[in-house]
Amino acid sequence: MDFSLNEDQIMIRDAAENFLADVSDSAAVRKAMASERGYDESVWQRIASELGWCGIAVPEEHGGLGLGAVEIALVQEQIGRRLLCAPFFSTVCLAANVLKEAGSAAAQKQYLSSLAEGSLRATLPLPSDVAGWSAAATSVVATMESGHWRVQGVVDRVPDAANAELLLIFAQTSEGLGLFAVPADTNGMQIITAEPWDSTRRFSRVIMDLHLPMDARVDEPLRSGGLARSLALARLYIAAEQLGAAQQCMDLTVAYTATRKQFGRVVGSFQAVKHRCAEMMVKIEALRSAVYGAAAQAAGDAPTDLLAAECMMARALAGDALFFCAAEAIQLHGGVGFTWEYDPQLYFKRAQASSHWLGDSDALREQIAESLFSSAVHA
């Protein structure tokens, strides 16, 4: 039993920390937010080709590094800390994750290598419902029509859809949930993107009436645990991102209160301020233990019920901790915390926006309670 990071993991984390401090500082994030695509293509190219992050968890046979949840979580933590604007989350944490865990061998062969090298940007819906992927299919129906699939309906909340070349769409089929790979330029697809308050990550509504070839269905129905596992991992990766964002809220606040003077002393020397910063640290370190623990379970051979519960735990704690820290950052920055110019507002908006991705904290806890009372998971 060893809970420390190995050398490779430390290297990945440190490289991410340094790279993002450089390319995704406050000015860079604000520039990307204001740009038409919402991210800096040159940074994305460096992430894909120089750093190889897109292939971290892709198996080596498909051109990836063959690593796993721990390494992705470490990168996501740094990404969240810097609010990186890039299609990394949608391509890697959602699309590649679901294809790897639940995709057919043919689909993996077709897509994973280009996803791993970052040459293919992909996405799939991120419902706010705790039910997860199936909630993305409530208004999408796939029927088989003479040798092809017809997929009709509408799905909301697809992140980075406007920039993706491939969309993975969940749909109801006659035998349950199905997953379809749809190139973005397919006829009959309309992508409507709104400008959200948190414009570091944009979401789209996709309206479709599609005629797709038979091999567009890419899930492997025999791998029934795969969808549950990919849902758990997606929650873990969101939690890791929220962890990094919460850490930055605290770091900004500690740094600000160390310089701001009132009554002839820095405000960070007042116990009322110190204790609130300490409360942030308690929540953040507790969350870090939860995220790393769940990641270690994912990298090991945890039973799916336990993994699901632990990733729900990480996601619930992360949503709450991030909102707490972002709100405290505004409060402890005082007047400037309320301005557009200072960064706490960016994290505050991300905190609220991400609070319901794949279920809000209350809904996630209700699921955990159900697992405990049904004895699927033990105290």
Partner 1 sequence: MNLQSTAADETFRKEVADWMQAHLVGKYTELKHRGGPGDEEADPTMRKEWERKLAAGRWTCVGWPAEAGGRGLSIEQQVIFHEEYARAGGPGRMGHIGEGLIGPALIKFGTEEQKKRFLPGIVAGTTYWAQGYSEPGAGSDLANVQTRAEKQADGTWKVTGQKIWTSLAHESEWIFVLARGEAGTKGNKGLVFLLMPLAQPGIEIRPIKQLGGGNEFNEVFFDGAIALPENLVGGVGDGWKVAMGLLEAERGVSTLGQQMHFMHELDLVIAAARATGKDKNPQVRQRIAHAWCGLRVMRYNALRMLSGDSTSLQREAIIGKYYWSNWHRDLGKLAVDVLGPLADVPSNDPAIRPLQQLFFFSRADTIYAGTNEIQLNLIAERGLGMPREPRPAA
Instruction: Please report, as ranges, the residues that interact with partner 1 according to CB under 8 A.
Output: 1-6, 9-10, 70, 250, 254, 257-258, 266, 268-269, 271, 273-275, 277-279, 281-282, 285-290, 292-293, 295-297, 299-300, 309-310, 313, 316-317, 362, 365-366, 368-370, 372-373, 377, 379
Token pair, residue 124, equals 């799939």
> In whole angstroms, what is the distance from residue 84 CA to residue 146 CA?
45
Identify which of residues 327 and 368 has a Cβ nearer to partner 1 in the complex.
Answer: 368
- DSSP assignments along 93-121, one per residue: IIIIHHHHHHB-HHHHHHHHHHHHTT-S-
Identify which of residues 211 and 276 has a Cβ nearer to partner 1 in the complex.
Answer: 276
- DSSP assignments along 214-229, one per residue: GGGB-B-TT-HHHHHH
83: alpha, beta or left, given left = phi > 0 and alpha = psi -120 to 50? left
> In whole angstroms, what is the distance from residue 204 CA to residue 190 CA?
10
Identify which of residues 194 and 282 has a Cβ nearer to partner 1 in the complex.
Answer: 282
Min. distance of Cβ 285 from partner 1 in angstroms? 5
Identify which of residues 59 and 293 has a Cβ nearer to partner 1 in the complex.
Answer: 293
In angstroms, how far is CA 145 from the centroid of its own chain?
35
Min. distance of Cβ 287 from partner 1 in angstroms? 8
Min. distance of Cβ 12 from partner 1 in angstroms? 12
Min. distance of Cβ 331 from partner 1 in angstroms? 16
Min. distance of Cβ 321 from partner 1 in angstroms? 11
Residue 272 DSSP SS3: helix
Could you tell me if 160 and 89 are in contact, meaning their C-beta atoms sit under 8 angstroms apart? yes
Identify which of residues 165 and 366 has a Cβ nearer to partner 1 in the complex.
Answer: 366
> By C-alpha distance, which of 227, 148, 157, 146 is closest to 182?
148
**Burial of 39 (C-beta count, 10 Å sphere; 0-12/13-18/19+):** buried
Instruction: Tokens 């799939």: give the residue.
Output: 124
Identify which of residues 220 and 320 has a Cβ nearer to partner 1 in the complex.
Answer: 320
Strands 148-159 and 166-173: unpaired
Identify which of residues 336 and 372 has a Cβ nearer to partner 1 in the complex.
Answer: 372
Min. distance of Cβ 94 from partner 1 in angstroms? 23
- CA torsion angle 182 185 188 194 (round to 10): 90
Min. distance of Cβ 268 from partner 1 in angstroms? 5
